[in-house]
């Protein structure tokens, strides 16, 4: 077994297949945006900016 084969594998770049994007209207600001999933019509969909504003803040406190 050659040690070079592992290095060759790590050096390769793999491209992801392109995702189908869906055009939607942001439920908050009304701006048209695209999302990588098909909305179900039940839950609201937000543009990137509105999603960032609405996203719950994470707590980084250590558990003791």
pLDDT in tens, the chain (64 residues): 545 444 445 566 778 788 899 999 999 999 999 999 999 999 999 999 999 998 877 777 655 5
Domain tally, the chain: 1
Tell me if 36 is assigned to some domain. yes
Say if residues 43 and 22 touch (Cβ distance below 8 Å). Answer: no
Can you give the pTM of this predicted structure? 0.59
Residue 31: domain span? 18-54
Tell me if 3 is assigned to some domain. no
Tell me if 26 is assigned to some domain. yes
Select from 36, 34, 31, 7 the least CA-distant residue to 20: 36
Tell me if 9 is assigned to some domain. no
Tell me if 34 is assigned to some domain. yes
Tell me if 61 is assigned to some domain. no
């Amino acid at each position: 077994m050659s040690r070079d084969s592992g290095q060759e594998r790590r050096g390769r770049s793999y491209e992801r297949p392109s995702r189908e994007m869906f055009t939607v209207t942001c439920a908050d600001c009304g701006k048209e945006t695209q999302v990588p999933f098909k909305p179900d019509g039940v839950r609201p969909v937000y543009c990137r900016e509105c999603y960032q504003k609405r996203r719950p803040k994470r707590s980084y406190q250590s558990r003791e």
